[in-house]
């Protein structure tokens, strides 16, 4: 019984550690949504936060980890929204990785993925 509880708590702790966003909010939204299957390159990569976020790093990588060029749409000011424009992409899996500073000064990070099909 005690051991089971411990496992549950450990799993919860790992989960929280893996996704610091949960400490702040579960309202972050992205376009494309995580897991989206698209037939063409998204015009915009978009992230929405419920509290101003200063995005300090953002990159788009393919399945091999190669970085794809994106044009960042805003400056380094904290903002509720962030967008970046990717160039035309070949079919494949892509991940957006970002880091930022929340308004309370906490370092945040996240990622989401989408797939481009033929």
Provide the binding-site residues for Cu ion, judged by CB under 5 A.
Answer: 102, 104, 106
Least distance CB 17 / Cu ion (angstroms): 14
- Burial, 96: exposed, middle or buried (Cβ in 10 Å; 0-12, 13-18, 19+)? buried
Least distance CB 55 / Cu ion (angstroms): 15
Tokens of 88: 């035309």
Q: Looking at beta carbons only, is 77 or 104 nearer to Cu ion?
A: 104
Contact predicate 82/74, CB 8 Å: yes
Least distance CB 99 / Cu ion (angstroms): 14
Q: Looking at beta carbons only, is 5 or 18 nearer to Cu ion?
A: 18
Q: Looking at beta carbons only, is 32 or 110 nearer to Cu ion?
A: 110
Q: Looking at beta carbons only, is 34 or 106 nearer to Cu ion?
A: 106
Contact predicate 23/106, CB 8 Å: yes
97: nearest Cα among 71, 51, 61, 69:
61
Least distance CB 104 / Cu ion (angstroms): 4
CA distance 111 to 69: 17
């Amino acid at each position: 019984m005690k051991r089971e509880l411990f496992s549950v708590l450990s799993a919860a702790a790992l989960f929280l550690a893996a996704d610091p966003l949960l400490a702040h909010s579960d309202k972050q939204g992205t376009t494309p949504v995580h897991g989206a299957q698209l037939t063409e390159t998204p015009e915009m990569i978009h992230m929405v936060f419920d509290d101003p976020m200063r995005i300090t790093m953002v990159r788009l990588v393919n399945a091999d980890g190669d970085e794809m060029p994106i044009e960042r749409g805003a400056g380094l000011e904290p903002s509720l929204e962030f967008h970046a424009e990717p160039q035309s992409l070949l079919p494949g899996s892509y991940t957006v990785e970002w880091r930022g500073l929340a308004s309370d000064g906490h370092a945040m990070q996240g990622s989401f993925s989408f797939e481009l099909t033929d």
